[in-house]
Structure 1
Amino acid sequence: MVKRDSAADLVGLLTADDRNLAESWVAEVSKSLSGRVGRAELDRELRELYEALVEALRQGAADVHSEQMSEVRALLTELSRNRARQGFSPSETAISVFALKRVLEPVLENGSVDEIRAYVRLARVLDGLGLFTIETYTQTRDELITAQAEQLLELSTPVVRLWDGVIAVPLVGTLDSARTQVVMEKLLQALVDTGSEQAIIDITGVPAVDTQVAQHLLKTIVAARLMGAECTVSGISPQIAQTIVALGIEFDGIVTKASLADALKLALRRSGVDMVAHTGGQR
């Protein structure tokens, strides 16, 4: 815990010329961010942070994790999350805290011994707050990246209704455990929503199939069968066929077709749809 006189020194350092200090802080951060944050927004953020910091130090806050720093942490969390969403870098985010040290640097040249000691103690507090800001920023960026990855998985795994009672999942790119789980969930939900009894999994756009990918496909097909749907795998290229044979992967009981068109014809026949071929010139 900071001693009462030490806390008073820190507060005195920040409030000796608080109006000019806060303005200088805003100006310093604004210059570092090259005007990418509106001056009014920046002024509001930093003045709220300034007031909360002064109050926390007045109550004897020792470091960023002190109970008295709860409001400061809340404001820094909001600031860090906003900067992360706006695309700022970690250093551009942390400068909002570290710039206060720069504004106070004249104390080192013209201040008394007590003021210099207070500056050093305050610098340690600000270092902790800066690290907290970076940690919060990093956590937010990780959350954003995870959310974007999930959205990409959703977009890259469409379920298409080809005919009444027939749906297809055209897959493009590499399959892994996470994506296959999405494929299974979307396929099963589509079977329920559409009442389809025929499903086609098209892997024309999948560059390679290994044991893990094959096992994922098999699990998806078994799950669809439990829902009462028949599955057909289409788009198996000669290279993938050779790989499956070489790996000894068993596709017993699973119907495969070379193309999506062939798989659709089979699904329509299973659904009882009569198909009539038309030759050119006939109407």
Structure 2
Amino acid sequence: MAALHQNTLSALTRSEAQLSESWWQALEASGSTRTLKAEDVRQQISEFLQLLMSVLARGASQNITAAEWADTRLFLEKLSHQRALAGQDSQQTAHFIFALKGPLFATLQTEYAEQPALLAEQLWEISQLLDLLAMHTIRTFQKSREAVIKRQQEELLELSTPVVKLWDGVLALPMIGTLDSQRTQMVMESLLQRIVDTGSQIAIIDITGVPTVDTLVAQHLLKTVTAIRLMGADCIISGVRPQIAQTIVHLGLDLQGVVTKANLADALGLALRRLGLTVTQSVV
């Protein structure tokens, strides 16, 4: 990749203000500024142009992985992360760079109006450079977006597995949705910690909201029950519907002496009796 001509750098420096304004207009016309504050985008435009001009003025190579491009890469990584948090997609984020092509090309056409061969060469060089910067932006955006999605999934898992104190010494964990290894691990950690914090003697796992029970789900439940018992507490599984009971029998699954109940009310009644408590209806 050839270096940019000195006349190219001089033309870009002289036209920086016009480049900035034309770039902003291109971004706004494309809809890439939606959900973003105008002053923030204008500040990013100004900062990026200064970084770009500074690197090119020092005669840096167009290998954007080189050390001299570190500040520019960091800027684009921060921008990508901010755009991901703002709910923009990869196309809108990458267009931050691509929208600069039009203003840059117009500037170079004016500069090399009488030198078509040199114009073609410089357009190719600047186009390749902007493409590389845009691809770096897309890659970092995807990583940021994946991190956001992963965090949201973890937060949803936490919200979908609340540990509820039903009575002194009795905890309940209502399960909703499909059980997998990651969720089981989170459930186990949350429930065991609550057992330690509250000193509870009985934990009720309610699977009314679990759509199906197969061999894998049963194994996850057994692991959780075993861990609860190792903590010195007992476990009751409630919400075993007729369809689930039939499935367990059909699969030949062995719940290894785990106490099960049809609903949470029956499980709570059993837990209270094990604690030596009796609930009676008062007469008014």
1:139 aligns with 2:138: no
C-alpha distance in 1 between matches for 2:5 and 2:202: 73
Give the AA of the match of 1:70.
Answer: A
Partner of 2:82: 82
User: Would the aligned equivalents of 1:156 and 1:172 in 2 still touch at CA under 8 Å?
Assistant: yes
1:55 aligns with 2:54: yes
C-alpha distance in 1 between matches for 2:74 and 2:31: 22
In structure 1, list runs of 5 or more residues that go unmatched. none
TM-score (norm. length: structure 2) = 0.92
1:236-263 per-position Cα deviation (integer Å, ceiling 9, x unaligned): 0111011111111111221111111111
Q: CA deviation at 1:27?
A: 2.1
- Paired residue secondary structure (2:100): helix
User: Would the aligned equivalents of 2:15 and 2:107 in 1 still touch at CA under 8 Å?
Assistant: no
The number of aligned residues is: 278
C-alpha distance in 2 between matches for 1:216 and 1:250: 13
Give the AA of the match of 1:12.
Answer: S
C-alpha distance in 2 between matches for 1:260 and 1:119: 71
User: Would the aligned equivalents of 1:13 and 1:115 in 2 still touch at CA under 8 Å?
Assistant: no
> Would the alpha carbon gap of residues 13 and 117 (structure 1) be closer, same or farther in structure 2, given more than 3 Å must change?
farther
User: Would the aligned equivalents of 1:159 and 1:169 in 2 still touch at CA under 8 Å?
Assistant: yes
Out of 111, 130, 141, the position equivalent to 1:126 is: 130
Matches within 5 A, 1:14-163: 14-33=12-31, 35-36=33-34, 37-59=36-58, 60-107=60-107, 109-110=109-110, 111=112, 112=115, 113-163=117-167
User: Would the aligned equivalents of 1:232 and 1:255 in 2 still touch at CA under 8 Å?
Assistant: yes
> Would the alpha carbon gap of residues 10 and 273 (structure 1) be closer, same or farther in structure 2, given more than 3 Å must change?
farther
Q: CA deviation at 1:205?
A: 1.2
C-alpha distance in 2 between matches for 1:119 and 1:269: 82
User: Would the aligned equivalents of 1:7 and 1:58 in 2 still touch at CA under 8 Å?
Assistant: no
User: Would the aligned equivalents of 1:61 and 1:67 in 2 still touch at CA under 8 Å?
Assistant: no
Partner of 1:249: 253
1:240 aligns with 2:228: no
C-alpha distance in 1 between matches for 2:189 and 2:182: 11
- Paired residue secondary structure (2:240): coil
Q: CA deviation at 1:274?
A: 2.6
CA RMSD for the aligned pairs?
1.8
1:94-136 per-position Cα deviation (integer Å, ceiling 9, x unaligned): 1111111111232565423334322211110100000111111
In structure 2, list runs of 5 or more residues that go unmatched. none
> Would the alpha carbon gap of residues 11 and 109 (structure 1) be closer, same or farther in structure 2, given more than 3 Å must change?
closer
1:228 aligns with 2:227: no
Q: CA deviation at 1:277?
A: 5.0
- Paired residue secondary structure (1:105): helix
C-alpha distance in 2 between matches for 1:10 and 1:153: 54
1:206 aligns with 2:210: yes
User: Would the aligned equivalents of 1:10 and 1:57 in 2 still touch at CA under 8 Å?
Assistant: no
1:190-229 per-position Cα deviation (integer Å, ceiling 9, x unaligned): 1011110100001111111000000000000000000000
- Paired residue secondary structure (2:206): strand
